[in-house]
């Protein structure tokens, strides 16, 4: 599978805390670690570790060397990553509590310097039938979605994080939506997962939809049937990048021609492994680890 991932690259400053800091509170953290991250970078690493041929496009500043090194070490092509003089790399301030849950504050930095000239320069090397993966952490996304549709690329979209503008983006050419319940409700409405899924199917009748449901696993409408997969329970250390790991593994399996049920199983297994480790990109498993994890559970 050949895929272009046009997405964010962040330095993640991860603070281990007893609980998330409250309004007006000053809280000492127990540990600070710096990890490579960004939904875009994490998903490129996951795609590549799952076996896809990945081209990452995006922008970093002069301080983005760690992120380029991370992508290259994971086997991702950085031909379309621009290192901008005078710009600051995007970053995330992440609190991780004792149960492994996180909350994330973003600074866009160079991620917000993607413009139409860069989009044209990158997309000219891709042809109808090539995959394009997007998240919502870079600028000029409406232009990118529009040009991808005009060029006949196969678009997979992880609409994360949700912003007030996102429901108004040109989404009619998206082939695969990969989203959680909050993102699903913002685009498809509804209170229960069933209502959300039905709302998404009504709004995007040509799209395939993967809805992740936290502890209840994930469902996928593949255009013909509904697939379900429960989670693999593990002790949560850090949930950061679990969704990104899921996305990369799911799409790679689909790109290999596997059915959505198999893709969901692999994606949930990979996400479970990521949750049991610290950090974003460093927590994403290799394909062999995912296979061993599944076979140890008789799958
Ligand atoms: O999905 C996790 C990612 O969200 C983190 O790596 C952080 O950088 C933010 O983009």
φ/ψ region of 156 (left if φ > 0, alpha if ψ in -120 to 50, else beta) reads: beta
Going from the Cα of 259 to the center of ligand 1, the distance in angstroms, rounded, reads 28
Tokens of 56: 């990452």
Residue to probe by mutation, ligand 1, list 5, 10, 95, 282, most atoms within 8 Å of CB = 10
Per-residue model confidence (pLDDT) at position 9: 98
Residue to probe by mutation, ligand 1, list 36, 46, 92, most atoms within 8 Å of CB = 92
Q: Is 61 a pocket residue for ligand 1 (Cβ < 6 Å)?
A: no
For a pLDDT cut of 70, what percent of the chain falls above it? 100
Query: Which phi and psi (to 5°) does residue 113 adopt?
Result: -110, 10
For a pLDDT cut of 90, what percent of the chain falls above it? 99
| Sign for the pseudo-dihedral over CA of 169, 204, 179, 114 | negative
Q: Which residues belong to the active site?
A: 244
Q: Is 40 a pocket residue for ligand 1 (Cβ < 6 Å)?
A: no
Query: Would the pLDDT of 183 be above 90?
Result: yes
Instruction: Read off the pLDDT of each residue in 220-227 and give the average, rounded to a whole number.
Output: 97
Per-residue model confidence (pLDDT) at position 118: 98
161: DSSP letter: S
Q: Is 104 a pocket residue for ligand 1 (Cβ < 6 Å)?
A: yes
Going from the Cα of 37 to the center of ligand 1, the distance in angstroms, rounded, reads 5
Instruction: Read off the pLDDT of each residue in 8-20 and give the average, rounded to a whole number.
Output: 98
pTM for the whole structure? 0.97
Q: Is 241 a pocket residue for ligand 1 (Cβ < 6 Å)?
A: yes
Q: Is 240 a pocket residue for ligand 1 (Cβ < 6 Å)?
A: yes
Q: Is 21 a pocket residue for ligand 1 (Cβ < 6 Å)?
A: no
Going from the Cα of 170 to the center of ligand 1, the distance in angstroms, rounded, reads 24
Per-residue model confidence (pLDDT) at position 69: 98
The answer to whether residues 119 and 57 touch, using CB atoms and an 8 Å cutoff, is no
For the chain, give percent helix, strand, coil, nearest 5: 40, 25, 35
Neighbours of 175 (CB within 10 A): 17
Quickly tell me which residue has 């509804």 as its tokens.
190
Nearest CA to ligand 1 atom 7: 38
At 269 the three-state DSSP class reads helix
Q: How confident is the model at residue 173 (pLDDT cuts 50, 70, 90)?
A: very high
Alpha helix locations (H) across the chain?
Answer: 39-50, 65-73, 116-123, 141-151, 181-188, 193-203, 242-255, 260-275, 287-296
Going from the Cα of 108 to the center of ligand 1, the distance in angstroms, rounded, reads 11
Q: Is 239 a pocket residue for ligand 1 (Cβ < 6 Å)?
A: no
Q: What is the pLDDT of residues 94-139, one digit of tens each?
A: 999 999 999 999 999 999 999 999 999 999 999 999 999 999 999 9
Nearest CA to ligand 1 atom 8: 38
Per-residue model confidence (pLDDT) at position 185: 97
Per-residue model confidence (pLDDT) at position 190: 83
The answer to whether residues 246 and 270 touch, using CB atoms and an 8 Å cutoff, is yes
Instruction: Read off the pLDDT of each residue in 77-96 and give the average, rounded to a whole number.
Output: 98
Q: Is 10 a pocket residue for ligand 1 (Cβ < 6 Å)?
A: yes
Nearest Cα neighbor of 295 from 267, 258, 275, 269 is 269
């Amino acid at each position: 599978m050949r895929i272009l991932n046009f997405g964010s690259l962040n330095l993640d400053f991860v603070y281990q805390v007893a609980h998330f800091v409250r309004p007006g509170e000053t809280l000492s953290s127990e540990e600070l670690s710096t990890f490579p991250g960004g939904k875009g970078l994490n998903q490129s690493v996951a795609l590549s570790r799952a076996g896809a041929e990945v081209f990452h496009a995006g922008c970093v500043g002069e301080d983005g060397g760690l992120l380029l090194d991370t992508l290259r070490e994971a086997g991702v092509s950085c031909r379309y990553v621009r290192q901008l003089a005078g710009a600051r790399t995007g970053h995330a301030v992440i609190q991780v509590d004792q149960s492994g849950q996180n909350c994330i504050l973003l600074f866009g930095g160079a991620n917000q310097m993607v413009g139409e000239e860069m989009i044209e320069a990158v997309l000219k090397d891709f042809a109808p039938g090539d995959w394009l993966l997007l998240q919502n952490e870079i600028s000029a996304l409406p232009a990118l979605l529009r040009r991808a549709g005009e060029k006949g690329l196969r678009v997979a979209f992880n609409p994360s994080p949700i912003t007030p503008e996102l429901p108004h983006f040109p989404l009619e050419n998206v082939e695969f939506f990969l989203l959680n319940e909050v993102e699903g409700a913002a685009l498809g409405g509804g209170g229960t997962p069933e209502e959300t899924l039905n709302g998404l199917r009504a709004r995007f009748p040509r799209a395939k939809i993967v809805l992740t449901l936290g502890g209840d696993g994930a469902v996928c409408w593949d255009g013909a049937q509904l697939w379900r997969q429960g989670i693999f329970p593990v002790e949560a250390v850090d949930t950061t990048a679990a969704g990104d790991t899921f996305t990369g593994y799911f799409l790679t399996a689909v790109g290999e021609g596997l059915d959505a049920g198999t893709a969901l199983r692999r994606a949930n297994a990979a996400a479970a492994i990521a949750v049991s480790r610290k950090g974003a990109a460093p927590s994403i498993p290799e394909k062999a680890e995912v296979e061993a994890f599944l076979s140890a559970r008789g799958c």
